[in-house]
Amino acid sequence: MRIQVSNALAPLLFSVFPFLPSLQAKVPQAGAASRPVTTRPAPAQDPLAPQDKLGKAMARRMTPPLRSFCSGCHGTAGRGDGPMARFLDPKPLDFSQGRFKLTDTVGGLPTQERLIATVREGLPGAAMPSFHHFPPHMVKMAVRGIMGLLREKIRQELLAEGKKGEELEKALALALKVGTPIKIPSFQGHSFDLKRGKEIYAKNCAVCHGPKGTGKTIMPLMNAKGERIQARDFRSGVFKGGANMEDLWQRVRGGIPYSNMPAFSQELISDSALMDLIAFVRSFVPTDPKAAPGPDGRRIPRFRMEPKPNPAKMVKRSKLPVDPKDPAWKEVPAVSLNLVPFSPKAATRGAGAKFQAVHDGKRAAFRLSWEDPSPEPADLAGIQLCLGRRSLHFFEARFPTRRYSIFGPAWFFQDGRVRAERPNYFPPKVAKALGLPTDPVPVQGPKVEARSSREGARRVVVFVRDLAVPAHPGAAGRAKKLPDNGPVIELPIVPGTTISFSVFLSDASRAKGLKSWAYSVFSELEIEN
């Protein structure tokens, strides 16, 4: 059946029935000459998009937070194969495996609360950062997306087995069942026996973690995906799920499924024996007199991102202290920073890091200090500013591979010299592998100077620059696209406003590339008027 529609009636029909685009395309315009129909070119194919059937099905389940903030490491289908994956140690989690690193249950999947906590708190000792700056609904959306990826993977496998209908739904429910919650007893009143804990450790743990807790063993260890991994070095004090006794209890009772660390039931290690084992494991960790004591009496520092990055304040002084040893710095408030390492080899880089900032109305000085007992100078220390007030993540300045005017250049102090790099800076080899530009670019704005010194076992670097800059396209706080081949435009520092900052530290003597890096989430910096 063919329908004839007059030119006068067509607009009314299409406004009422917008689902007739093909009909609309066939209606000639009044007074218009016939012309060939042109088709819109197909969008360019994403080279990182999965090409297999399962990958395409999983990619459709990626929720907006996963696509925007997680795909750089976890991949466009959540299979741990993002462009950053090759540079990270340990490798990003493959959600399709259905085995998570942290669990609070046995015999099934972790609870939603545990998954939310992992996203919000990150994984200390790995490149997985804290996303505490995400609003709660975005964190829940990310977790729903993760479970959606796992569900889709299992669903495709069950369909391939011929299951459908009610049988398919029952099999899905069984595969996605949440396990039995792990009960954590009270540690108060227990008399800890380290000798007994050492015996249990030698019998159950030393084969992977080594007799001295170094994580070095001759036995090759693999994760659920078959990738080579190394057991945790307890001496660093950095544990994926936290170093307090309750956290370690869940790690032993529930295991670490993705890393193939087994779960030890009460039949294998009694509750009393497990308390002694945990106390012995904690004895490997250097103590911190400022940390609160645990039930075992040990003061273990908390290597975990705080619920919200600590805000800082740039105070105004009549005289600007540019020397790292200037006594005036003692009167400038200091903020403690929690740095996220890209690998366990950089886990202790930036321990005890503190940040201070001051201005005199014309120039600003930023002081960064951290624990560094090595007599050799630090390989790299850096800082980056952002006009946004909210907390931001390291990768938001780098993915997608564009430069936005709210991010300023990254300043780095290395080998006694200071240099400015692109806002989306990565080490050259990493940038080249990611397809990012590596050539130097000019910086439009005031020159940045830096000085370095030592305070006992602490390293100190002070960056100094003018407050004022030429008119900046992002001064209103709106992101604007800047050409990748254009100059890097320095950000203004305006008294009476609030901006954000992030710091970076690296020790190339321990590892190369990003594996030696540790960084902080962008934190607010209030500039005193």
Closest Cα to residue 283, out of 250, 245, 240? 245
Q: What is the distance between the alpha carbons of residues 258 and 101, in angstroms, rounded to a whole number?
A: 5
Q: Once rounded to an integer, what is the mean pLDDT over residues 390-394?
A: 60
Where is pLDDT greater, at 39 or 75?
A: 75
Where is pLDDT greater, at 454 or 200?
A: 200
Going by pLDDT thresholds of 50, 70 and 90, the confidence category of residue 505 is confident
Q: What is the distance between the alpha carbons of residues 515 and 464, in angstroms, rounded to a whole number?
A: 28
What contacts 229, CB < 8 A, 6 or more positions away?
90, 221, 222, 223, 259
Class (C level, CATH) for 312-527: mainly beta
Alpha-carbon separation of residue 84 from 88, 127, 331, 437, 516 (angstroms):
7, 10, 41, 16, 15
**In residues, how long is the chain?**
529
485's tokens: 């081949």
CATH 1.10.645.10 fits 194-282, yes or no: no
Please count the other Cβ atoms lying within 10 Å of the Cβ belonging to residue 388: 20
> How confident is the model over 113-150, as pLDDT tens digits?
999 999 988 887 677 877 877 889 999 999 999 999 99
Give the DSSP H or E segment for 273. Answer: helix 271-282
Give me the chain's average pLDDT, please: 81
468's tokens: 């004022």
Is the model's pLDDT at 486 over the cut of 70?
no
Q: What is the pLDDT of residue 472?
A: 61
Q: What is the pLDDT of residue 2?
A: 44
Where is pLDDT greater, at 523 or 184?
A: 184
Positions of E strands within 151-256: 180-181, 221-222, 228-229
Q: Which residue has the tokens 């250049």?
A: 409
Q: Once rounded to an integer, what is the mean pLDDT over residues 434-455?
A: 82
Report CA dihedral (196, 197, 202, 205) to the nearest 10 degrees. Answer: 150
Using the Cα atoms of residue 7, residue 11, residue 12 and residue 18 in order, give the sign of their dihedral: positive
Using the Cα atoms of residue 515, residue 521, residue 522 and residue 525 in order, give the sign of their dihedral: negative
Q: Residues 461, 463, 468, CA angle at the centre, nearest 5°?
A: 170
Least confident of 20-34, 269-283, 387-401: 20-34
Where is pLDDT greater, at 35 or 360?
A: 360
126's tokens: 């790995």
Q: Where in the chain is the domain with CATH 1.10.760.10?
A: 194-282
Please compute Rg for the chain using Cα positions.
27
User: β-pairing, 380-386 with 363-371?
Assistant: unpaired
Q: What is the distance between the alpha carbons of residues 249 and 208, in angstroms, rounded to a whole number?
A: 18
Is the model's pLDDT at 310 over the cut of 70?
yes
Going by pLDDT thresholds of 50, 70 and 90, the confidence category of residue 434 is confident
Going by pLDDT thresholds of 50, 70 and 90, the confidence category of residue 363 is very high
Residues 58, 78 contacting (CB under 8 angstroms): yes
Is the model's pLDDT at 296 over the cut of 70?
yes
Q: What is the pLDDT of residue 350?
A: 65
219's tokens: 């036995």
Report CA dihedral (23, 27, 29, 32) to the nearest 10 degrees. Answer: 120
Q: Once rounded to an integer, what is the mean pLDDT over residues 254-259?
A: 91
- What fold, for 53-159+174-181? Cytochrome Bc1 Complex; Chain D, domain 2 (1.10.760)
Q: Once rounded to an integer, what is the mean pLDDT over residues 73-78?
A: 90
Q: What is the pLDDT of residue 3?
A: 41
Where is pLDDT greater, at 418 or 445?
A: 418
Is the model's pLDDT at 279 over the cut of 50?
yes
Q: What is the pLDDT of residue 23?
A: 35
Q: What is the pLDDT of residue 205?
A: 94
> How confident is the model over 446-479, as pLDDT tens digits?
889 999 998 888 889 999 999 987 666 555 545 5
Q: What is the distance between the alpha carbons of residues 212 and 210, in angstroms, rounded to a whole number?
A: 5
Give the DSSP H or E segment for 278. Answer: helix 271-282
Q: What is the pLDDT of residue 200?
A: 97
What contacts 43, CB < 8 A, 6 or more positions away?
none
Most confident of the ranges 18-22, 110-114, 214-218, 408-412: 110-114
466's tokens: 């003018």
Is the model's pLDDT at 308 over the cut of 90?
no
Going by pLDDT thresholds of 50, 70 and 90, the confidence category of residue 32 is very low
Q: What is the pLDDT of residue 509?
A: 61
Closest Cα to residue 518, out of 238, 147, 229? 238
